[in-house]
C-alpha cells in the first residue's frame, strides 16, 4: 500500500518547519480563503473553523491527498488576539500581554476527500509573560518580525526577553502542536 500525498494547507513558515521534523514528505498548498478573525468569537470555535476552512478548500482540489489545516490564536480577557496589522498594534498587544498569562489555541483539521476522512482536534497551551517596559518592547520589536504572528510575538525567537514560562505544548504556541499532529498522522491515516 503506497503512502498518500500529504499537503499542509498553510502559508506559515513555522508550521512548515515543524511538520518537516516528522520526516514525512509533504507539499504546501495555501488555501485561498478568508479566515474568520472576529475577536469576540470563542477562540476554540474560531481556530477550528479556520483550520477546517483551509483543509476543506485544499482537499477539494486534491481529493486523494491527506490535507492538514491549522489555525492558531492568542486569547486574553475574553478576546482573541490575532496577527497585528502594524507595529503600533504589535506594541499594543505586547503591552496587554505584559506580566500576564494568556492561552494559545490551535485548531487542527485533517481531510482526505476521496475516503471521507475528517478529523478535527484542538489544543491549548499557556504562556506567562514577564512585565515589559517600553524599552524592552522596542528592543523585542527590533529583533523579531511580529507582524505574521498571533499575539504579536514569537515563542521561538528571543522569548527569553518577554516570556517567564509556558505550560502545555510548546510547538502549539509556535502554531502546530506536534504531539497531536504525530498522533493524527499515523501510518493508517497516511496509508503507509
Give the active site residues: 71
d(CA 98, CA 32): 34
Residue 28: phi, psi to the nearest 5? -115, 125
Q: Are 106 and 71 in contact (CB under 8 A)?
A: yes
Q: What angle do CA 144, 131, 14 make, to 5 degrees?
A: 30
Query: Considering only CA atoms, which of 183, 167, 173, 141 is closest in space to residue 73?
Result: 173
Residue 188: phi, psi to the nearest 5? -65, -40
What would the grid cell of residue 159 be? 522569548
Element holding 38 (H helix, E strand): none
Integer distance in angstroms from the first to the last C-alpha of the chain? 6
d(CA 48, CA 79): 16
Amino acid at each position: 500500500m503506497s503512502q498518500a500525498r500529504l499537503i499542509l494547507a498553510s502559508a506559515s513558515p513555522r508550521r512548515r518547519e515543524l511538520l518537516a521534523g516528522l520526516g514525512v514528505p509533504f507539499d504546501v498548498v495555501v488555501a485561498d480563503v478568508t479566515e474568520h478573525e472576529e475577536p469576540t468569537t470563542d477562540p476554540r470555535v474560531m481556530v477550528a473553523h479556520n483550520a477546517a476552512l483551509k483543509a476543506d478548500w485544499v482537499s477539494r482540489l486534491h481529493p486523494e491527498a491527506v490535507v492538514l489545516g491549522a489555525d492558531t490564536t492568542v486569547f486574553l480577557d475574553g478576546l482573541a488576539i490575532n496577527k497585528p496589522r502594524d507595529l503600533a498594534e504589535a506594541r499594543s498587544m505586547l503591552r496587554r500581554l505584559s506580566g500576564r498569562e494568556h492561552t494559545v489555541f490551535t485548531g487542527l483539521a485533517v481531510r482526505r476527500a476521496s475516503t471521507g476522512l475528517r478529523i478535527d482536534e484542538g489544543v491549548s497551551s499557556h504562556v506567562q509573560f514577564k512585565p515589559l517596559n517600553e524599552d524592552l518592547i522596542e528592543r523585542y520589536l527590533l529583533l523579531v518580525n511580529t507582524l505574521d504572528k498571533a499575539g504579536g510575538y514569537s515563542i521561538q525567537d528571543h522569548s527569553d526577553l518577554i516570556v517567564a514560562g509556558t505550560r502545555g505544548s510548546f510547538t502549539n504556541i509556535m502554531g502546530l502542536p506536534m504531539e497531536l499532529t504525530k498522533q493524527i498522522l499515523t501510518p493508517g491515516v497516511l496509508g503507509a
